[in-house]
Structure formats: C-alpha cells, structure tokens
Chain A
C-alpha cells in the first residue's frame, strides 16, 4: 500500500512540475518566434500594412525609448495624448493595440533588434504569410465552404470553423455560437491581407490554444478568405435577430414534436370517471 501511495504522489509531483515548467520554456523563446506568435497577425516587416502598420524602418520613424514605452503599454501612450500615437490609432480604424503579456523593456528592445534585421533570421520570414493575390474563384469559395463546415478536414487537424462560428447562411441552424459571428469579419479585421495574417496565427486566447499546434495552410487560408469574403458580400442585414429566429424555430419544433407524440399515443388512456361525470353534468345543463 505504502509503495502505491508513494508512486501516486510521485506522479502527481511530476505532472505538476511539467505543467509549471511549460510557461518557463515559452519565456525563453527567441524574439523572432515571439514576433511570429504575437505580432505577425497585425504587423509585417516589409510586407505592407495589415491592421497595424508595416514595421519596416520603424526605428527610423520614432526613437527607441518611445517605441519601448509604447510596446509595454500602447493604451497608456495613446491616453497620454501623444499625437503620433493618436495618428496610429486612426490608421488602425480605432483598434487599440493590446498589451502583450511578458513585454519587458529587454524583450521590447530585442524585438526592435529583430525588426531592424540586425542579426537573426532573414527579414522575409517576418514579412507575413505568403498568400496568393489572385482573385477568388468559385472553386475557392466552394472549397472554403467545405473547410468551414468541416466536410473537408483541415490539413493539420485543426477543428472546423463551424464548430464555434457561424457565417452568413451556412448550415440550416447556423454554426456554433461559442465564437463570434464571422459574417462581417472580412472588413472588420482588415480585409484579405489583415484577415489572412490573422488566420495564419490567430492571436486570441481561445483560437491560439486550439490552433497553436494545428496551423492553417496558406491555401486553406485562401479558401477560407474566399468564403468569408463571399459571405460578407452576400449577407443581407437580417430583419430578425438570429436569437429570435432560434427561439421561434425551437417553439415550432416543440409544437411539431407534441403533435407527433399525440399522434403516436392517440389511443392512450384518458380519465374515465371525470369524463363520464362531466359529460352527464353538461347534458343536464
């Protein structure tokens, strides 16, 4: 017995250590990986404007101290009334750059080094995911819809979009409601380029944890962009909120269900004595 307990406690301790050890390993990443995972969905270096500005030559546009301050807390700098920060906010359609966890002055400085391209990997790697510029074709849209619905598995095994999101009129009842409705997301997240970058490394906590090890392929992203673009073009402003539709549909379904139950058990036993007494009393009146 004693040895079994020792084994159990040992296992528990090992699991705890493994869990605690993982974040420590993340912190020790090289700045280039940090950029790919945390910045590339909004910024490129030499790849053009996404949601945030292209960071090529950023150290020439602003001095290093200002940039390090901004990286640590963009909102604080914007709130302080800094005119350049206000301009950036306007360029990003009012989207405030979020605080990045673990952004120490040392890390910020190292990131700027990477952006400047001093040492480390080739700049092209930070230019964002290469997604074809060709126009969307109907087959792109069809493939995208299949991917969205999960009729075709994502190559790296990520879950289908429909399990958490709904898009336009896809599926009879729409998709999942855990994540936001994606009908208008194409414009909201900066069109083809911005959304493409976003999809290449989804930044939100939920998406990140799901897709960290199941990244989307560039051709998949293209197809998904095609179908999301198509949905935003064809979506009509609904005159009834989807919730109301859902409730109505549920109510109608319940009525149909009750009617079917009544049909199936129409010969069932109903009260005998009360029926007799009531019929008689009614007859006398």
Chain B
C-alpha cells in the first residue's frame, strides 16, 4: 500500500444553475493574458450538447486518454515512436475553430466613425489576428440548448440510445437539459503527464495537483492531444501549454479555488482523499464495467488505522490525515456512493466527481390535474426525461447501475425530507424508499445537511498545505542561509 493524498472535488449537478460565475472568476484571475483569450480552465456546458471544444467527448476524433491494448494501457494519441514521428505536426491537434476564435469589438470605431445616416457599430475583431471576423462559435455557443438540432443532437453521449429515445429527448414537451461545469480533473493516471516529450508536466506529490513547468515546457502540445477532457491549452503567445492549477496559490493560503469560492449554487465541494498509488495501473486496466468499483477501491478509508499508519509512513502530514477524515468528498464518493467520475472509460482516473442531476418529474395530466404518483415510487428515475443511458455514458463508463443507485438514493432522501417537513408523505412510504435505496435515516439526514445546509467550511475542507515540507524534499531551504541577502529568483531586468 502506497498511501498518498489528493485534493479532490465533488460537483453537485442537481444544484448547478448554469450561471457561469465560476468561469468568469477563473477567467479574471488566470486567463486574461495575451495568448490565453480562448482558454476556459473552468467552463460550464449544457447537456445534451457538444461542449467546449466542440464534441470533445468523441475520442474517435480527438484521440484523447488511454486505451487497452492486449490488456496494457497505452495512450490513444501518441506513443514513444509516434511522438518522434509526429513531433513537428501532431495529427490529433484540435484546430482553433473547434475551440473558437476569441474576439473583442472594434469599439474605437464608435468614436472615430465619420458622420453618417446610421449609428456606427462596433464590429467583432479577432483577438488573435486583429482582423475583423464573423463570429461562428463561442465557448458556450450551445448554452441552454442553443442550436440544439446541430449541437445537442451531436452529443457523443447519445451513443447507444435508441432512435426513438433520441427523438423524444428533442421533443418540445419533453425538452430537458442540465449543466455540466468542468475544470481539470487532476487525474490519478493523467494522460497529459504521460504524453509530454519534455517531462514538463507533473502531479504534485503532496496534493495531486497536475501542473505544467513553464520553464521545461517546449510547446510540443502532445498534452493538448492526449487530455481526453481537453483541459490542456496552448498559449500561442508564450508558446507553452497551460492548464487549471486548482488555484494552488489560494489553496496554500487556506482559500478555496476561485471557481469554488464564487459558486452561486454552492455546488462545489473540496477535500482530501487518501488513495493507494500502487494500484493505479492495475485499476486503470480493468474492464470498463469494473472501473467505477475499481476507482472507489483505490480511495482509502482515512479512519482505518492501517491506512493511517501507512500514510504516516509515507510522509503524509498528520494534519492532512485529519483533513481527509473530515473530507466532504470522501462522504459523497465512498460513504454514500452518490458522486461519480466523468467518463472513467478514458482511464485517466479523474479525481473530480459529479453527483448526477435529477431531471424534471414526468407527470401525467388526468382530468385536468397533474398527477405524478405511481405505485412504483422510483418510476420517475427510470422514466426521467434525461435517459439513464445518457447519464451512464457520461458518469458511469456506460454502466447504468451506479447511476441508478445514486439517483434512487437522492430521490429517497427527498421523500424522506418531505415526510419530515411537508408531511404529505407518510412515514411508512419514506422508510420503505430509504431501505430500497440502501440508505439509513441518519445517512439521509447527513446527505440532506451536506447538500442543502452546508456552510463554507463544510464544503471546503482545505488541508494545511505544508509547502515548506514539500520543498524540503527537493532542496534544503537553509542552503543559502548567511550566504546571500535580499535577492531575486531571476535577475532584475534592466534598461527599457
């Protein structure tokens, strides 16, 4: 057992209102520089939809992530020989159009336009070339099902759904969508790190944050092709790749990442997970129907004395172990099994988990009254507007079982709370639902509290980062004591 710690995340999709506040918070802090205009380290997608970049989930086109070859893992996009062969032109590179060409407007024209019969307009102008352009796409072009016959109809997660089901999904009276906010998953088996020819990408030992060393990056962009979530971005100005850094400077000072902090729906949870690093390869190579269970088995119980001992032996700080014991992520993922990883079939072992959304209740109109009660208390889970198969393609590596379990438990908790507060559900029904959904009343209360009444400190259990100890592993902080005074990491610039 090789116990390590990872700062991990849960996004509760049932609470997401799709306001994009997270994207803006991130944009304003990290990607408002030249060359990063098109990057959205955090973005919010509408599902069904093709997302950003367009159709990123279709790995037949983008060749991201890992695949099993004779039982062994290998990168879909590249390999040692392929890297050499394709080093000057990676054939799996998304084009700018698949993201979108970032633009601003020619505002100056409003002031400088000569007098005329019409109001002057500020025409869109590319932020890359500076030329006037026609806007064809944007980072959330299909927001709220905009252009759904084109974009939503091409959602790769619709694969495996019958034609009728697909048609119903688009039918006006059944129309449904939910939001899917995305950041870097800080995977356990990151394909971006594996693909880098320069060795510039690394996963931080103490908290599992995946980072790009900007001095070692040579701009080969193998990571851009290899990341199946397309959360690696190439800065065309600096010629280096960039990605979500999980706001590590904020984490190191005890603050939640900007997108977490600003979340209006309070959908985001952050906490430490302890995991067994020695089994990552074995689990990532499992057949796809065993992946979800496999990944859960990687995550270790922070209260297990054996795990605690192994963690201590591995240099995990006591305060981090304590933090892991309070982690809301552990409860969602392991205790309650409510949160599921996105597209685990890419085999990167993402460490960001999603609580699947409840879709609107299917109701029948009888005698002018809307009725949605059936003998089968979970009927609207099976008949939900969002087909189970669609959610399974997105969060269950194609398996419906884990999705059904999570949705039934959520519904049981709702009915249990209706029995408690509204009183229109009798106790017998509520208890029956809880037991059918594998949930005790205490667990239901806990889920309810962490979902609805959670405070800032409940949602974000940020461990003390102990950067100074992490640095000591690499270099001796006292090495230069008494030998230099005030100084600079790199020489001061002179002249202009």
Contacts and interface: CB of A to CB of B under 8 A. Distances in A.
A271 B61 CA distance: 9
Contact of A277 (B63, B93, B150): B150
Interface residues of A, number: 12
B78 interface: no
B337 to A, nearest CB: 34
B171 to A, nearest CB: 18
A272 B93 CA distance: 11
A269 B94 contact: yes
A277 B141 CA distance: 12
B50 A280 contact: no
A273 B93 contact: no
Contact of B50 (A265, A274, A276): A276
Contacts of B98: 271-273
A272 B60 CA distance: 11
B76 to A, nearest CB: 11
Contacts, number: 46
Nearest to B225: A269
A272 B151 CA distance: 11
A269 B61 contact: yes
A268 B90 CA distance: 8
Contacts of B149: 280
Contacts of B63: 267, 269
Given A274-B97, A276-B150, A277-B150, A269 B54 contact: no
B154 interface: yes
B53 interface: yes
Contact of A273 (B54, B91, B92, B153): B54
A272 B61 contact: yes
Contact of B94 (A265, A272, A276, A280): A272
A271 B97 contact: yes
Contact of A276 (B54, B92, B95, B225): B54
A276 B137 CA distance: 12
B41 interface: no
B67 interface: no
B345 interface: no
Given A277-B150, A280-B149, A272 B53 contact: yes
A108 to B, nearest CB: 65
Interface of B: 50, 53-55, 58, 61-63, 91-95, 97-98, 136-137, 149-151, 153-154, 225
11 contacts: A265-B91, A267-B63, A269-B225, A272-B54, A272-B61, A272-B62, A273-B53, A273-B98, A274-B136, A276-B55, A277-B136
